[in-house]
Amino acid sequence: MNTNAWTDPARLAARYPAHVATLRARHDRALEKAGAGHAVIFSGAPKLKFLDDNYYAFQANPHFVSWLPLTATPYCYLVYTPGETPVLVYYQEKDYWHLPPASPAGYWTGEFDIRVVHRVEDVAAHLPEAQEKCILLGEIADPAHAFGIERVNPTTVLNMLHYARSTKTDYELECMRAASRRGVTGHRAAEAAFREGRSEFDIHLAYCRAVGQTERQLPYGNIIALNSHGAVLHYQHQSAERPAEYRSFLIDAGASVNGYASDITRTHAFADDEFAGLVARVDQVQQEIVADVRAGADFAALHVGTHRRIAKLLAEFGIVRGSPEALLAYGVTSAFYPHGLGHLLGLQVHDVAGLAADENGTIIDRPSGHPYLRLTRRLVEGMVLTIEPGIYVIDMLLAELRGTPAHAMVDWERLEWLRPYGGIRIEDNVRVLADGCENLTRDAFAT
């Protein structure tokens, strides 16, 4: 299915030149600090499977995709020199085994000097002659793909570009809104399949069909979890067997548009029962947290505050007892909610620089006792991030409470009621504003 089903090409075209101008300015600063004159950005090369002649699914270098909506074209090079039109060395293999890449076309082509080559070795003729003035950004498994450039992925440059990438341009926001609309279309189809009594595998297929993307095109592997499987945070299987009874469905699935991801989670109860009431309350808590998102907010503090909300919610349903402070201090909430509140989102699902204090690579440590938090920064206008609180029955973590003061804080008999449902997670993608946020996910569901 064409990306245009979720995007307005005219809106992308109108915003793309300013996006490229922003990238030029960012690379100008990075090159100056690195004492370099040219940035050569490699899209990447396919990787062979071990002892095989088949390749893993190709995934382009995000530094390359930030410039160009070319997510599936290997062996391409973007050459940026300050003050000059960026050069795209576009590799179009002559091949009768596979379909070669189409000729460059679309709203983006006018920003580049495009040079088509049919052999990888022909790339060299289009690279700067002064290799000592170049830096190369990309994964280089074969030294031949560096074409003699010695400075590969300098840390100074990566830190600057990653930190800058935390805030999104208007073009990127258009892509991410479209990715949310695309993902929500899949979520609706998946819920319908769940209500029809389909297997996890069939639900997954319904999702892919609705978003018009194959597994290799999705930004990450779908989490399609029925019943107790919802307790596995990154449940990786998709059983083709239908369960004997349908209780719950947790789906964590996104979609991609021009390389930009959505990352959406919803939990559904099969019946209108007490578990449905708990799902509704987690959803309410999630929206309360979203309401606290704004420029200047300390995300680590939002995460710790979420643990207090989870403590109150677990106590409300009789699963635990004790004050929120005690439940946090003794690790009870971490047993039920072990992951972070969210992460930056963009060209990568867990986008870069979530722990960066500045563009120099200084790290903001995670709060003590919260080792899996992926974002510790104060929020800045223009960031896009996820908000995803959850509650799960994870036996491995609950077992660690036995023999400690935390054991008496859990109502173990009441816990058995929740166990067959696995877990609950609600996740939205939000854009930080000066005085609040834009909820890309809820907006997509509303339309």
Tokens linked to 249: 């469905």
pLDDT of the residue at 193: 98
**pLDDT the model gives residue 3:** 67
Average pLDDT over residues 337-353: 98
In this predicted model, what pLDDT tens digit does every residue of 362-388 receive, in sequence order?
A: 999 999 999 999 999 999 999 999 999
d(CA 261, CA 284): 25
Share of the chain above pLDDT 90, in %: 96
Q: Calculate mean pLDDT across residues 326-349.
A: 98
The mean pLDDT value of the chain amounts to: 97
The residue type found at 335 is: A
User: What pLDDT score was predicted for residue 95?
Assistant: 87
Distance CA 285, CA 115 (A): 53
pLDDT tens digits, residue range 124-133?
Answer: 999 999 999 9
Number of other residues whose CB lies within 10 A of the CB of residue 228: 17
Q: What is the pLDDT of residue 195?
A: 98
Read off the pLDDT of residues 192-247 as tens digits, 9 standing for 90 and up: 999 999 999 999 999 999 999 999 999 999 999 999 999 999 999 999 999 999 99
Per-residue pLDDT tens over the stretch 320-335: 999 999 999 999 999 9
Question: What pLDDT is attached to residue 96?
Answer: 86
Quote the percentage of the chain above a pLDDT of 70.
Answer: 99
Other Cβ atoms within 10 Å of 179 Cβ, number: 30
Q: Report the alpha-carbon distance of residue 68 to residue 76 in Å, rounded.
A: 11
- pLDDT of 2 reads 60
Instruction: Output the pTM of the full model.
Output: 0.96
Length of the chain: 447
Average pLDDT of span 105-109 = 95
Domains of the chain in sequence order: 3-153 (3.40.350.10), 170-446 (3.90.230.10)
